[in-house]
Structure 1
Amino acid sequence: MDQTLIKEASNYIQEKLAHKPTIGLILGSGLGVLGDEIENQTTIPYSDIPHFPESTVSGHKGQLVIGTLEGKQVIAMQGRFHFYEGYTMQQVTFPVRVMKDLGIESIIVTNAAGGINEGFEPGDLMVITDHINNMGTNPLIGPNNEELGARFPDMSKVYDPEYVQHASQCAKELGLTIRQGVYVGNTGPVYETPAEVRMLRTLGGDAVGMSTVPEVVVAGHAGIRVLGISCISNMAAGILDQPLTHHEVIETTEKVREDFLRFVKKIISTLPN
């Protein structure tokens, strides 16, 4: 990854900041509403930021929102980039590199995912404890820049155990029932076949989606602490006798909006440093 490109994007954003953000938020399909809760906000369209890709998926606004949330300085991506959109893994994860350069120490990555675990239901919130990279590639392939991170980064605790415990405690205090589990990252853009879902369940997956894994790998490489949250927006293929649609994904995330907002805001307000 070319540090010059990272610096140019970071410097452009930095010029518009009143305060240095310390927490990054990546908001997945239908979950960008959290960005609207940010106070004293500065909004920057991705198209204005040097070297940033543009989000092409319905449910992704395609802008950065920077300001204060629950007393913390945050920078939120309202919409992310996906490998299936035709972007390289380096483009997909470029915003994480920029966030690191801006001084981000922690990142909360959210997504809408299909439930593989048959004990889950649409509308459940799942804290990610681990992931399976089923994308067939990795954003760290290629020459390594030691200034950005180690050649062979450890991924054994990339989803910060203290953050997972913190999220569980926050849910308990709010009276929310949340799940914990393993997220499987597929390339998309097709939904999985029933046979693929059975395979992923056998491998230990609890939820499946088309994002998150690349950003988390790069965050781990960069030394950023990670919390991952999936909204189980539908049950994966073969579990229920009904077709899968993106409309269903957005519809479900809208139904759990209030719980999602309360949960993430509670987490941020008391997030350990």
Structure 2
Amino acid sequence: MAYRDPALENTANVAALRLRSTLGLDPSTTVPVAVILGTGWGDALTLEDATQEVPLKELPGFDCLRALEGHRRAVRLGRLGGTPVAALSGRVHLNESHDPDHWKMVRLQTEMLVHLGAKVLVVTCAAGSLVPDLRVGDVLLIDSFLTAFAPRMPLIGGEFVSPEDAIDNHLMTTAYTFFLGNDPRSVGKGCYAMLPGPQFEGRKHDKALLRTVGAKAVGMSVLPEACVAALYPGVRVAPMAFITNSATEEHSHEENLRRAKERAPLLGEFLSRVVNALPKT
């Protein structure tokens, strides 16, 4: 059993209790699957029997949360194939603030979902490609992490875990059999590198360096969620990235959002198939 900071875990439990109460969940009801929806994925997932949407800011521990363009910052509950699913739209990124309370919120958003009962955590994001065979509009199933250039994770001393230990390899294999639309080349597997941001990586040297050490895509999230989930041995993580820009083009956040919105129907279909294929126990 991994060591977990008691104070931080208690905050997550309180937030989960408030979320449960606001959503009208019976105390004995667990939500076995949670999905963290990154840029572009937030408009993709359609839940059956969806309940009210609860803004993160209304939950304990998220009092100082700020708005962020393109992010709804809310949790909603519904079903996929009869399975209760909690979906968080608009994650909190490490690069939004250096305030210690913000650092705690990055952790809290994941730990809260675990305390809601999630045993499977599907974590999505938008990312940039580093290799020619990973094209704009594709999905990368993240089977490993490059952590050498990442910022400090929302862990404290003594919480010795590996984010890769949380990855559900069985799910990665299953998801690899799916694809977007009619294109069987649209889904790949590989290593994901997290950089601190909020600045984009340099096209001439940063991308070349990351590619040299084995990364196929680069982004500014996912790794923190995997690290926090790894504190809970029974939680399995399925991380995946939507590719919004190539390794050579100029970066544009606005263009990334446009491409993600355009691709949302296919992403939603893919995500629904993946969640329905999950072993729920």
TM-score of the two chains, using structure 2 as the length reference:
0.86
Counterpart of 1:260 (choices 267, 275, 280) is: 267
Q: Which runs of 5+ in 1 are unaligned?
A: 145-150
Query: Residue in 2 aligned with 1:7?
Result: 13
Structure 1 position 249 matched with structure 2 position 256? yes
In the TM superposition, residue 68 of structure 1 has moved relative to its aligned partner by 1.2
In the TM superposition, residue 8 of structure 1 has moved relative to its aligned partner by 1.8
Query: Residue in 1 aligned with 2:50?
Result: 40
Is 117-126 or 130-139 further displaced after alignment?
130-139
User: Aligned pair in 2 of structure 1 residues 42, 174: CA closer, same or farther (>3 Å)?
Assistant: farther
In the TM superposition, residue 79 of structure 1 has moved relative to its aligned partner by 0.6
In the TM superposition, residue 38 of structure 1 has moved relative to its aligned partner by 4.4
| Alignment partners' CA distance in 2, 1:17 and 1:269 | 24
Q: Which amino acid aligns with 1:8?
A: V
Counterpart of 1:126 (choices 135, 140, 143) is: 140
| Alignment partners' CA distance in 2, 1:250 and 1:206 | 21
Identity %: 25
| Equivalent position SS for 2:166 | coil
Is 31-40 or 167-176 further displaced after alignment?
167-176
Q: State the Cα deviation string for residues 214-236 of structure 1 (Å, max 9, x = none).
A: 11111112221000110000114
Structure 1 position 135 matched with structure 2 position 150? yes
Counterpart of 2:229 (choices 194, 219, 227) is: 219
| Alignment partners' CA distance in 2, 1:41 and 1:57 | 23
Q: State the Cα deviation string for residues 77-132 of structure 1 (Å, max 9, x = none).
A: 11101111015443212111111111110000000000011222110111111111
Query: Residue in 2 aligned with 1:66?
Result: 77
| Alignment partners' CA distance in 1, 2:223 and 2:118 | 18
Contact 1:30 1:250 in 2 (8 A): yes
Structure 1 position 80 matched with structure 2 position 91? yes
User: Aligned pair in 2 of structure 1 residues 22, 108: CA closer, same or farther (>3 Å)?
Assistant: same
Spell out the pairing of 1:35-184 with structure 2 (5 A cutoff): 35-52=45-62, 54=65, 56-86=67-97, 88-133=102-147, 134-142=149-157, 144=158, 151-171=159-179, 176-177=184-185, 178-184=187-193
Counterpart of 1:196 (choices 171, 195, 206) is: 206
Q: Which amino acid aligns with 2:86?
A: I
User: Aligned pair in 2 of structure 1 residues 189, 8: CA closer, same or farther (>3 Å)?
Assistant: same
| Equivalent position SS for 1:218 | helix
| Equivalent position SS for 2:160 | coil
User: Aligned pair in 2 of structure 1 residues 59, 71: CA closer, same or farther (>3 Å)?
Assistant: same
In the TM superposition, residue 72 of structure 1 has moved relative to its aligned partner by 1.3
In the TM superposition, residue 171 of structure 1 has moved relative to its aligned partner by 3.4
User: Aligned pair in 2 of structure 1 residues 167, 174: CA closer, same or farther (>3 Å)?
Assistant: farther
Q: Which runs of 5+ in 2 are unaligned?
A: none
Contact 1:65 1:76 in 2 (8 A): yes
RMSD: 2.1
Query: Residue in 2 aligned with 1:147?
Result: none
| Alignment partners' CA distance in 1, 2:211 and 2:130 | 6
